[in-house]
Amino acid sequence: MNHTPPAITGLILAGGRGSRMGGIDKGLQNFRGLPLALQTLMRLQLQSLPLQEILLNANRNLSAYESLGVPVWPDSIDGYAGPLAGFLTGLERCETPLLLTVPCDTPLFPLDLAERLYQAMHAQDADMAMAAAPEADGAVHPQPVFCLLKTEMLESLVKFTQGGGRKIDAWTGQHRCAIVPFDQAGDSAEAFSNANTLAELQQLEAL
């Protein structure tokens, strides 16, 4: 990159109900001896394109999350409205031109995530960039919760959510969105494996 990228804020999405884990708070479950949210935070801190600040979006156990040492913000929309509510909260609180979103349940995501999303966004003059990765069917699928967003997208997202919109891809589909495949030589096949259940969490730990 021959130009200096704008400053980026990282956002950890830990605001879900954890319904597939029996309602437990997913981000506080241990992975290799540390809470998933802390593993996620550490991976954000190790990004090859450094982040200026990291925020965390959670809707319960706020003091446990605050103990990780980053600002914690609950959804500004009531009722566990999903990851897009986390996006909205992050964009409202973000003080940099770009916001990188990652979920708390995918602890092996790439260390060059921010860099590659930014390169694609810049090259394609896009409003946002989204990771895509191989899944069980062998095809490469978008991973909508791994997004790099221009902070100026806030107004659009406010309108979309106020209109009842809740699906990430329905919103990103309204904008220029660069899709970035993480299926190159050297990319880990497990990078985007997430733990929706305790069994999946144990499988991830065993990798």
pLDDT of residue 161: 93
Q: Is there a domain that residue 25 lies in?
A: yes
Summary mean pLDDT of the chain? 93
> CA separation (Å) from 37 to 67, 121, 137, 174, 206?
11, 26, 28, 30, 18
d(CA 116, CA 104): 20
Q: Is there a domain that residue 2 lies in?
A: no
Q: How many domains does the chain have?
A: 1
What is the tens place of the pLDDT at every residue in 96-118? Answer: 999 999 999 999 999 999 999 99
Chain CA centroid to CA 184, Å: 21
Q: Is there a domain that residue 66 lies in?
A: yes
Percent share of the chain, pLDDT over 90: 77
Q: Is there a domain that residue 3 lies in?
A: no
> CA separation (Å) from 177 to 66, 87, 104, 153, 180?
32, 15, 23, 12, 9
Strand order in the sheet with 98-103: 72-73, 53-58, 8-14, 98-103, 140-150, 128-134, 177-181
Q: Is there a domain that residue 128 lies in?
A: yes
Lowest pLDDT segment from 16-20, 59-63, 92-96: 16-20
Confidence of residue 16 (pLDDT cuts 50, 70, 90): confident
pLDDT of residue 82: 83
Domain span at residue 166?
8-206
Q: Is there a domain that residue 44 lies in?
A: yes
Q: Can you give the CATH number for the domain in which 89 is found? A: 3.90.550.10
Q: Is there a domain that residue 22 lies in?
A: yes
